[in-house]
Amino acid sequence: MSNPLSSKYQLSWLSLGGIILLQSVSVTSSLFSTYSSLLGKQFSISRVQVINLIVALETGRLFEWFPSAAADRLPPWTILLIGLSFGSVGYGVQYLYIADKIHTLSYWQVFLLCLLAGNSICWIQTYCYFAAVTNFNKHKNIAALISCYSALSRKVYTSLVEGIQGRIGFENPSTCLLLNCLVPASVGLVVVLIVGCSKLTEHTETDIFPIAFSIAVATGVYAMLGNTVQPIKNMSPQLQVVTFMLVIMLPIAVPLVKAAHWLIIGRWRSKIIPELPCVVTTANCITVIKGIDNMNEEVGEDGKRAGVKVNEGMEKVGKVKLGDEHGVKNIMMSLDFWLFFWVNACGPMLGLVYVNNLRRISESHGNYEVSSLLAVSSTSGFFGRIFLVLFEEYTRRRSILSKPASIVLMMIPMPVSFFLLINGSKTGLYISTGILGACSGAIRATTASTISELFGPQNSVVNQNIVLTNIPIGTLLFGYLDVINYETGGGGNYGICKGFECHHKTFIIWGSISSIGTILSFILHLRTRKFYS
């Protein structure tokens, strides 16, 4: 084991804590739908135009290949600074307009600012990924675990808004815009300094993943208990946000705990057990390092699992087999790819649309605890992601369950959740929100690795972005549908629709579409069984 008192060891954990914190605040668009109706009033635009702004945010996140391509040519810190600049401009200008510092701002200018702000998320997350791979290149699974923290962004920003303005902080969109502008910039600049100092370190601890995973579970549990356990709920909003941020930064405390343990155990051993010969210690170290190298043989350079070996008897798609590299032409001709596309459109995309409309859904159900529902959605999505990472970490050498089969299992509860919302009960609202958050988060977490396995790793970024185009398209279509049903039920002119009928038709349509997605996921599983056999 590395010396916990060494500066190299401490910087490794410090950089891990910094990257996790930056990833936790990376999704600056997470609260936009919560205050979008109020923002619409400020800009004097209709609900349909507000939906277009949400679509612009999601569309900005599709241009992920720009930071990915730039990362091969530019220093990592420039990738982060570009993302921070985009976010600061995108949200900062909108804030200045609402604060009456700018007197003229057209709707199309706001649309372009939202597009820029959405694209900033890609740059920040690309930096987090490359920083994780660079600093922990012996533990590629750490990059996947760190990416899960993006699901907590909604909880982080909810806590920050309430900490500043109290429980009704969402009534003022200027606070959310200001936080989206300043928080990533502040955290990002600190992380650049920390990771820049420790970029040459290489963490070789064999127990880093179990410790990091345990910390992630503890963070998710605390985030969930913060909205369910009465003693934590009774804490002041300011104290809640401070404690939550401290929990997120727990990795920074690991060197202190291990140093104390090392000093106590080391002194005890020196008195009772004679010191072992240097040769034996060196041999053990070499064995451990070899074990680590062997463990990572199946991990590609991009930090993701390499695809399983191609079975010669598998089904061909044109002239290209599953597992081979699929160019744009091959992808467009692949039935399996389009099955996967529509599964994502009918599953995690619908879950995202549901969250984007959660404020109106909550108000129509007579439940004004929007922050609690957002916390449930955020933390359940976080748990869905981290347990999928754990499953893949400990089953990658054994073919227990293929990716398409796991997607089928995650898709089955989603239509049930939408139909459960029809009865209008408060308990059903919380249960459905938790299930949809967990299933959507887990499926989104497995999207990149599934595309890499089935359609080749080299073009996986482009192919993934083709799949993700269903998010802005779905947000547009299903957002329009929800607005029509909501305004028909009595919520026109930014009024609040009350009662059972406000989203009744919407939930039936969403549940039916999700059921179709579940059937398509089962067909995809049947078509890819030979590949995974």
Helix (H) or strand (E) holding 394: helix 370-395
* Single pTM value for the model: 0.80
List the domain range (segments joined by +) for residue 408. Answer: 310-533
According to the model, what pLDDT value does residue 258 have? 64
371 within domain boundaries: yes
Query: Is the distance from CB of 517 to CB of 345 less than 8 angstroms?
Result: yes
Which residues have CB under 8 Å from 210's CB, separation 6+? none
Query: Is the distance from CB of 90 to CB of 113 less than 8 angstroms?
Result: yes
SS3 289: helix
Query: Is the pLDDT score of 329 beyond 60?
Result: yes
The tens digit of pLDDT for each residue in 70-102 reads 877 888 889 999 999 999 999 999 889 888 888
Q: Closest Cα partner for 88 from 184, 215, 218, 224?
A: 184
35 within domain boundaries: no
330 within domain boundaries: yes
Question: Exposed, middle or buried: residue 82 (CB in 10 Å: 0-12, 13-18, 19+)?
Answer: buried
Query: Is the pLDDT score of 317 beyond 60?
Result: no
In angstroms, the Cα distances linking 466 to 6, 125, 229, 344 are 46, 19, 42, 11
Please give the distance of CA 513 from its chain centroid, rounded to a whole number.
24
CATH number at residue 493: 1.20.1250.20
d(CA 152, CA 223): 9
| DSSP classification of residue 478 | H
Average pLDDT of the residues of the chain: 77
Helix (H) or strand (E) holding 142: helix 141-148
pLDDT category at 266 given cuts 50, 70, 90 is low
According to the model, what pLDDT value does residue 2 have? 52
pLDDT category at 203 given cuts 50, 70, 90 is low
According to the model, what pLDDT value does residue 81 have? 92
Query: Is the distance from CB of 433 to CB of 376 less than 8 angstroms?
Result: yes
In angstroms, the Cα distances linking 52 to 78, 96, 109, 349 are 30, 21, 12, 16
d(CA 283, CA 281): 5
349 within domain boundaries: yes
397 within domain boundaries: yes
Helix 348-356 to helix 413-420 angle (10° resolution) is 30
d(CA 26, CA 120): 9
Higher pLDDT, 483 or 439: 439
98 within domain boundaries: no
The tens digit of pLDDT for each residue in 375-405 reads 888 899 999 998 888 887 776 666 677 888 8
Higher pLDDT, 63 or 117: 117
The dihedral through the CA atoms of 402, 443, 135, 242 has a sign that is: negative
Higher pLDDT, 120 or 51: 120
Query: Is the pLDDT score of 497 beyond 60?
Result: yes
Q: Which of 128-132, 290-294, 329-333 has the lowest mean pLDDT?
A: 290-294
Query: Is the pLDDT score of 103 beyond 50?
Result: yes
Number of independent structural domains in the chain: 1
**100 Rama class: left (phi>0) / alpha (psi -120 to 50) / beta:** left
Q: Beta-carbon neighbour count of residue 530 at 10 Å?
A: 12
Q: Which residues pair with 320 in a beta bridge?
A: 317
Q: Which amino acid is at 213?
A: F
DSSP per residue over 290-350, as a string? HHHHHHTTTB-TTSSBPPPPPPTTSPEETTEETTS---HHHHHT-HHHHHHHHHHHHTHHH
Query: Is the pLDDT score of 435 beyond 60?
Result: yes
Q: In this structure, what are the phi and psi dihedrals at residue 317, rounded to the nearest 5 degrees?
A: -115, 95
Which residues have CB under 8 Å from 184's CB, separation 6+? 22, 25, 26, 28, 83, 84, 87, 120, 124
The tens digit of pLDDT for each residue in 333-366 reads 888 889 999 999 898 989 888 888 887 788 777 6
Which residues have CB under 8 Å from 59's CB, separation 6+? 115, 118, 472
Average pLDDT over residues 497-506: 76
203 within domain boundaries: no
172 within domain boundaries: no
According to the model, what pLDDT value does residue 113 have? 92
SS3 495: coil
